[in-house]
Amino acid sequence: MSEKNRNHEILEKVSDEPVADGFDLRLYVAGQTPKSLAAISNLKKLCETHLAGRYTIEVIDLLVTPQLAAGDQIVALPTLVRRLPEPLKRVIGDLSNTERVLVGLDIRSKTGSRT
């Protein structure tokens, strides 16, 4: 399927090849609401700061493609899904609490050390 026909946006893509120890992230949103836009902005800042060169972000608008919600079992929006590295992790909300997002995605442990 071509990128244009996928009905969602690749926001940041480091390369076409998987990045060693990289993070494959999907952000599910519902249109251009303030909460959705805040989640996109907060995620980009977090990735640029903590995962530079080691991530891809895919933004999926469920108003355009609602059928994609079932694949990652999305029940609230916005939801960030870490698809890789496994196991799959989810963080719900506008991603404004950076520490909560880092811990939720296992980028940083609860004690503050980085992975």
Residue 65 domain-assigned (yes or no): yes
User: Is 109 within a domain?
Assistant: no
Average pLDDT over residues 2-22: 51
Of 55, 49, 46, 51, nearest to 95 by C-alpha is 46
pLDDT single digits (tens) 60-113:
999 999 998 888 889 999 999 999 999 999 999 999 999 999 999 998 766 554
Task: Give residue 21's pLDDT.
Answer: 74
3-state class (DSSP) for residue 114: strand
3-state secondary structure 53-69: CCEEEEEEECCCCHHHH
- Region 1-23 average pLDDT: 52
Walk across the sheet containing 79-84 and list its strands: 9-13, 55-61, 23-29, 79-84, 89-92
Number of domains in the chain: 1
Evaluate whether residue 35 is within a structural domain: yes
Does 110 fall in a domain?
no
- Residue 52 DSSP symbol: T
The answer to the question of residue 52 being in a domain is yes
Q: Is residue 55 in some structural domain?
A: yes
- Residue 61: give its domain's CATH number: 3.40.30.10
Task: State if pTM tops 0.95.
Answer: no
Q: Which domain holds residue 11?
A: 4-104
In a domain, residue 114? The reply is no
Tokens of 82: 């870490």
